[in-house]
Structure 1
């Protein structure tokens, strides 16, 4: 069985030098230090907007909790972004939020709720040095569930100075990602992908970029045997 690194090196032969250089540059800007969690979002265009912003900001993973509202995998609106992201879907149970919380904690993430709370912190004041961050965004109708509110380690908000009391969820996610990623890039924290994570992400990208990558990799395996 070929390793993923071997497969990546082989697939590089099937794209242009410019594409190889682009992948090499962009992968150094990706992070798993920050991840986004969309809990039961109703509007597919909000999901798509968050994914596009995550890609633009270099946030590699997006977690999608599907309780009442299902993620539309056929949507063409988010297709341009989601192919470059690592999506984690939680579904199958009536309440999939606890499973998402458990998995993220096992991966060492702080649970950060983006909702007004008595203990909330302005996003620009959030301590980035305390470890990896999973930002939870709730449904447009009722916000985050009690499960998330109860389990959250921290609460953050975006400062607002107008009469409107809340931001659209995709706008809120964009402002938070921009603040956090800009500060991380200016810090001395190690927020980049690990070498192992780089290989996994690169393999995903090349499989998407190379037409008939499945057949090409199958022939590559046969060469070894």
Structure 2
């Protein structure tokens, strides 16, 4: 086995190994997604799928029950890390520890100029941002709104004033990829995530690793 190669890499096709390495190069943790009491399983699953598609590694979910639709995620939940919280205080404390600035997605008139508001394509994606998408009916909760340092909105030209949460998330995350502004993972983070992905990818990975360990 070549030096520096993960022991499980020998059990996957070269094409799949190259795909894993390519995806890792585009992964970021400087941008994360927060779902605040979003209840619809299809919406949650679609956001997770978009997060994976646009290079987001972490999703934070605030709520009692986290339900996913496998037909919507199409396995994307295997490749992102979903962190669940039962209270806004715990969520905010975690985001603060990781030095995220909180961005709430809502129309600018709702906050009446209390914090800076950006069209999503103008957000400062070169900074550590936590994008918060709120409940389908009530929006982002007041505790999180009070902790936000900026808000964001999607410019619209039609009669509708809002978009489905999964559509809004996809548009916003796509904008984050323009200009390559997000900070990519360090080598240690890449190695840790690659280890988890390979364990997920290779059937019987734990038994294989145990056997290889006894042989070395």
Same fold judged by TM-score > 0.5?
A: yes
Cα shift at 1:220: 2.8
Normalising by the residue count of structure 1, what TM-score does the alignment of the two structures yield? 0.86
For each residue in 1:127-170, what CA deviation from the matched residue of structure 2 results, as whole angstroms up to 9, or x when unmatched?
234x2111011110111100111000110111011111111000
Gaps of 5+ in 2: none
CA contact (8 A) 2:62 2:84 kept: yes
Gaps of 5+ in 1: none
CA contact (8 A) 2:45 2:70 kept: no
1:25 counterpart residue number: 22
**DSSP-derived class of the 2:112 partner:** coil
Match of 1:45 among 42, 50, 59: 42
For each residue in 1:16-48, what CA deviation from the matched residue of structure 2 results, as whole angstroms up to 9, or x when unmatched?
111111111111011111110111111000001
2:140 counterpart residue number: 144
Normalising by the residue count of structure 2, what TM-score does the alignment of the two structures yield? 0.90
Match of 2:62 among 47, 61, 65: 65
Match of 2:103 among 105, 109, 112: 112
For each residue in 1:164-188, what CA deviation from the matched residue of structure 2 results, as whole angstroms up to 9, or x when unmatched?
11110001101110111223x1x4x
2:192 counterpart residue number: 200
1:99 counterpart residue number: 90
